[in-house]
Amino acid sequence: MEYDVIVVGGGSSGAVMAARLSEDRSRSVLLLDAGPDYQTLDQLPDDINSIHEPSTVHHDWGFSATFVPRRVAPLPRGRLVGGSSAVNSGVAIRGGAADYDTWAEMTGDERWNWEHCLPYFRALEDDKDEGGDFHGQGGPIPVRRWSREELEPVHAGFYDACVAHGFEETTDQNDPETTGVTRIAMNRDGPNLMTRWSANLGFLAQARNRLNLTVRGHCLVDRVLVEDGRAVGLRVACDGELQEVRGKQIVLSAGAIMSPAILLRSGIGPAEELAALGIESVADLPGVGKHLMDHPMTPMLLRPTAGTVKPEKPLLQTLLRYTSATGEFNDMQVYLLGHVLLVPGGRFGAWRPDDGDSDREPEWVFGIAPGVQLPNSFGSVTLASTDYTERPVIDLKFDEDEADRERLREGARLAWRLAHSEEMAPFHTGPVDIDRETIDDDAKLDEWIHATATSMAHPTCTCPMGPDPAEGAVVDSEARVHGVEGLRVVDGSIMPTIIRANTNFTCMMMGERIAEWMAAELA
């Protein structure tokens, strides 16, 4: 059988693509995902059902990334239908209006500007709290904000500390002109309003009754099959058995790590690098995997007083956005992480097994986590080998730009002031791994930043949109891969530059936009 469309990856963009493209019942659509497929809310395991903590136990790719030299730690990515939208922290915010205007400039396509993107953001939302021009009602993804009464004491303390430090209060971070501290908008619903409402639950659930849509889990894609310059199918391991499947149109929505990896194994990427791995070049695209961007974050972890940390309670409820001394509007975010399990080699913390602390017991702490939203540094995703089961090499190079380091220092010093404020002091006995001497000394603070560097887990830009492959573009402004017919990439990897916000809602918006263009093209 030859499908009309095959979508690889059922995450924030891929689930939307499959749902929208299958609305035409004459079009056969196959959606493949490497992880399990939980078709209904009742089937969700506990670690996926609850929004209290991002799930990284049973449904994660197991990626490790080099954030700065010698700092290697996990980079969470969801491996199940729903992708990272099914395991993330559920933050339902968009980038700044200027981010999408920049996309329009970089791609040469005005349809990516804020004015044109806003209706698609509105269409995917069912905002329970806010109305007006910036919000949507009746869409597939519910959006709710925490009330003041719902805040856990430590989150309320953080909120009040931000206000005491002069930051504005806002109820709506999806108004593009707002800044300051807010109770976070989250995509949560379900019987107790604590289920993370993923792209699977929001989009695929309403499409699963269609006979023209097939969803298959446990299918790991090796490569795209290309004949005479056209994508014609995929080589896929389904439950461990390698098979080939044919499709008239192939859409990679495997995310900013796996989409470039699939392209590279398919011979689509920098020809010289592929030749060194013994891969024959199909399309010489130097930009594949070469502009990896993410939001660098350095959590300041605090040892809690009795009763402060409650792992069964929400991880996130409050968010501070502000403009750094050297940056653009809202170029910084600060979260209060309500509970963090500090373990050797974990995502958070300055100590590692090779520091001589391998016998150290895990402990529950909490943290104040500043992060740069418009970084200048960028890294890469490359192949370690041609083996499709081997994880790619991820190097984020968060230490490449001095302006990024300046903002991380500024964020760390703000986190220190907030932690030691009258409002926050009752909740902790002191920081885990930083003292006042370090805070006051740039060189020592840089060492601490290197030791604690992690990310907000928003990898993007590894297959960027743009008109010219010679300048690094991998796809055009409608997500078609340069030089290969019948092949698109639709996920966070095609962002031409990163946005100043969590990426989930933007990836769903991109799926909505490109599915519409693709459907018109196929009609």
Residues assigned a catalytic role: 458
Asked if residues 492 and 252 have their Cβ atoms less than 8 Å apart, the reply is: no
Listed residue (522, 473, 506, 510) closest to 97, CA to CA: 506
Dist CA 257 CA 336 (whole Å): 27
Q: 441 is written with which tokens?
A: 């000394």
CB atoms within 10 A of CB 433: 14
Q: Is 417 exposed, middle or buried (0-12, 13-18, 19+ CB in 10 A)?
A: middle
Query: In a 3-state reduction of DSSP, which class is residue 466?
Result: coil
Q: Is 324 exposed, middle or buried (0-12, 13-18, 19+ CB in 10 A)?
A: buried
Which amino acid does the sequence have at 466? Answer: G
Distant-in-sequence, close-in-space partners of 68: CB < 8 Å, separation ≥ 6:
396, 397, 398, 399, 449, 450, 453
Q: Is the dihedral of CA 478, 483, 487, 491 positive or negative?
A: negative
Q: Which residue has the tokens 């090779």?
A: 354
Parallel, antiparallel or unpaired: strands 64-68 and 393-395: parallel
> What share of residues in the chain are helix, strand, coil (percent, to 5)?
30, 25, 45
Parallel, antiparallel or unpaired: strands 230-238 and 241-252: antiparallel
At 353, give phi and psi (nearest 5°): -55, -35
Q: 72 is written with which tokens?
A: 């290697």
Parallel, antiparallel or unpaired: strands 332-342 and 318-322: antiparallel
Dist CA 467 CA 447 (whole Å): 40
What residues does 29 pair with on adjacent strands?
A: 5, 213
HSE value, Cβ hemisphere, 13 Å, CA-based, for 201 = 22
Dist CA 346 CA 226 (whole Å): 40
For 346, the enclosing helix (H) or strand (E) is none
SS (H, E, C) 195-216: EECCHHHHCHHHCCCCCCEEEE
